[in-house]
């Protein structure tokens, strides 16, 4: 876990598994604020930023795809069957925890909450009032009750909701909860609920927060939704994933939707960053209430508009900066003092960071300034070229991480 200096709390990120993109051809970023004329080197970590100090945290025997802090409790969703207390060596003091668990934010110790789900959890969200936890993934049974890829729990008691009964026929990968509506995205083609029946929903659906009834909101996407956030001000839903089209029109990787009608809204980013299709996606979005940040991956091809680092955009998708470290981005978190990125970054020379070594090594977690500080330099390794784009600065924050081998696919030589 990571300690936030002067704030006494932690944040957690998730790791996904894919591969590195190798693309080429020059590209100019669209509308963006003026940047400094020259690149800027690595900046020192400010006092308000988290340190890389290790803190006690419960351990699991599998993968944590997502974590969510509600008050002083951290909820963890993933693919695992047991957990052990902080400090216990592997194979000791393990107790059953099945794809969903929680622990105390301050102490790192597990709570007694132990729901049982028969499939992995990919998404967590909490209602704005902090009373309801929404869970999405690939399960069909929760605590012995039928719940198809979507469930809700009372935060205070930990009890499974008997009122919210929304569901989908395949994976739910992302959830955004408002006071009245629960929006879900994933890889499904049908959604349904106990009070209102079901209907075709092409990777996006919405349910009533009060009773789980399936709503008429039904935009369409032609590939998986991986992440969603409300735009600053709560005026639109921003979606990200592997899709190339939304509502029948071109929208590679990201798009914005009307919260009431599901209609597509103007979104400038997808004319600039175009990760999509079978070998590319925008995997993660985060917002600080003012801007939206995101990142993804691209494998192979020669698409000049693909990006493995991060972007920062305004509420209309206009690019504010591009960060072009090479190596897939799996998760993004917009903190108060910096923007954090997890993935397998192996080269940050375009951002005045470390060069590409002959023997590859990876920084699994890095951080950048939130403000624009300079510009990117020319790409020398055959990837998409973002030379001259406004950029943030890499920060001197390099916590050491080790990673298990990727379960997705082997990395081809030179990739």
For the stretch 251-299, pLDDT in tens is 999 999 999 999 999 999 999 999 999 889 999 999 999 999 999 999 8
Backbone angles phi, psi at 287, to 5 degrees: -135, 145
Gap between the Cα atoms of 73 and 105, Å rounded: 5
Tell whether 405 is covered by a domain: no
Tell whether 164 is covered by a domain: yes
Tell whether 344 is covered by a domain: yes
Gap between the Cα atoms of 320 and 136, Å rounded: 32
17 pLDDT above the threshold of 80: no
Which is nearest to 134 in space by CA: 146, 118, 122, 143?
122
Strands (E), 128-279: 132-137, 141-142, 145-146, 150-154, 166-168, 172-177, 181-186, 190-193, 197-200, 204-208, 225-230, 237-241, 245-246, 249-250, 254-257, 264-265
pLDDT band at 29 (very low <50, low <70, confident <90, very high): very low
Tell whether 412 is covered by a domain: no
20 pLDDT above the threshold of 50: no
- Res 95: pLDDT: 97
Tell whether 17 is covered by a domain: no
CB atoms within 10 A of CB 33: 12
Tell whether 1 is covered by a domain: no
Mean pLDDT taken over the chain: 87
What does DSSP assign to residue 49? S
pLDDT band at 10 (very low <50, low <70, confident <90, very high): very low
11 pLDDT above the threshold of 90: no
Range of the domain at 327: 59-391
The CATH number linked to 86 is: 2.130.10.10
- Res 40: pLDDT: 73
303 pLDDT above the threshold of 60: yes
pLDDT band at 107 (very low <50, low <70, confident <90, very high): very high
Listed in sequence order, the residues at least 6 apart from 402 whose beta carbon sits closer than 8 Å to its beta carbon are none
The domain total for the chain is: 1
Gap between the Cα atoms of 351 and 364, Å rounded: 16
- Res 1: pLDDT: 43
Q: Do the Cβ atoms of 166 and 174 come closer than 8 Å?
A: no
Element (H, E) at 322: strand 319-323
Gap between the Cα atoms of 107 and 129, Å rounded: 24
Give the three-state DSSP class for 270.
helix
Please tell me the least confidently modeled range out of 104-108, 183-187, 360-364. 360-364
The predicted model gives 28-47 an average pLDDT of 59
What does DSSP assign to residue 213? P
Task: Give 91's strand partners.
Answer: none
Tell whether 35 is covered by a domain: no
- Res 404: pLDDT: 61
26 pLDDT above the threshold of 90: no
Percent of all residues in the chain with a pLDDT value above 70, rounded to a whole number: 87
For the stretch 128-185, pLDDT in tens is 999 999 999 999 999 999 999 999 999 999 999 999 999 999 999 999 999 999 999 9
For the stretch 41-73, pLDDT in tens is 778 888 778 877 778 899 999 999 999 999 999
Task: Give 145's strand partners.
Answer: 142
Torsion on CA atoms 213, 219, 223, 226, rounded to nearest 10: -60
Residue 291: CA count within 13 A, CB half-sphere: 23
Q: Do the Cβ atoms of 187 and 205 come closer than 8 Å?
A: no
- Only one residue has tokens 């789980």, namely 212
Give the three-state DSSP class for 298.
strand
Q: Do the Cβ atoms of 178 and 125 come closer than 8 Å?
A: no
- Which tokens is 109 given? 């110790």
Tell whether 44 is covered by a domain: no
**Which pTM value belongs to this model?**
0.87
């Amino acid at each position: 876990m990571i300690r936030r200096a002067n704030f006494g709390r932690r944040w957690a990120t998730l790791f996904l598994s894919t591969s590195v993109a190798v693309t080429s051809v020059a590209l100019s970023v669209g509308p963006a604020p003026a940047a400094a004329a020259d690149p800027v080197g690595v900046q020192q970590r400010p006092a308000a930023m988290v340190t890389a100090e290790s803190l006690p945290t419960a351990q699991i025997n599998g993968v944590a795809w997502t974590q969510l802090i509600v008050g002083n409790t951290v909820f963890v969703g993933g693919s695992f069957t047991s957990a052990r207390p902080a400090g216990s060596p592997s194979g000791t003091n393990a107790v059953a925890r099945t794809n969903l668990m929680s622990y105390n934010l301050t102490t790192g110790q597990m709570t007694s909450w132990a729901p049982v789900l028969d499939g992995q959890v990919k998404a967590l969200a909490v209602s704005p009032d902090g009373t309801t936890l929404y869970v999405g993934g690939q399960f069909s049974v929760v605590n012995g009750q039928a719940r198809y890829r979507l469930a809700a729990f009372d935060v205070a008691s930990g009890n499974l909701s008997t009122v919210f009964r929304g569901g989908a026929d395949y994976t739910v990968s992302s959830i955004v909860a408002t006071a009245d509506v629960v929006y879900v995205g994933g890889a499904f083609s049908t959604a349904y609920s106990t009070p209102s029946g079901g209907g075709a929903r092409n990777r996006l659906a919405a349910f009533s927060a009060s009773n789980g009834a399936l709503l008429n909101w039904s935009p369409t996407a032609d590939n998986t939704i991986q992440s969603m956030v409300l735009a600053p001000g709560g005026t639109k839903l921003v979606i990200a994933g592997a899709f190339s089209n939304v509502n029948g029109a071109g929208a590679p990787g990201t798009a914005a939707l009307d919260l009431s009608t599901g209609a597509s809204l103007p979104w400038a980013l997808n004319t600039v960053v175009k990760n999509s299709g079978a070998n590319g996606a925008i995997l993660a979005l985060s917002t600080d209430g003012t801007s939206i940040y995101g990142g993804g991956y691209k494998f192979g091809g020669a698409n000049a508009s693909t990006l493995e680092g991060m972007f920062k955009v305004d509420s209309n998708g206009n690019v504010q900066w591009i960060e072009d470290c090479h190596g897939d981005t799996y998760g993004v978190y917009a903190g108060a003092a910096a923007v954090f990125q997890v993935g397998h970054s192996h080269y940050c020379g375009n951002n005045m960071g470390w060069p590409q070594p002959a023997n590859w090594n990876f920084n699994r977690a890095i951080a950048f300034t939130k403000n624009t500080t300079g510009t990117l330099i020319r790409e020398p390794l055959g990837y998409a070229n973002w030379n001259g784009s406004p950029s943030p600065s890499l920060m001197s924050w390099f916590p050491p991480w080790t990673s298990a081998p990727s379960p997705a696919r082997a990395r081809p030589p030179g990739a």
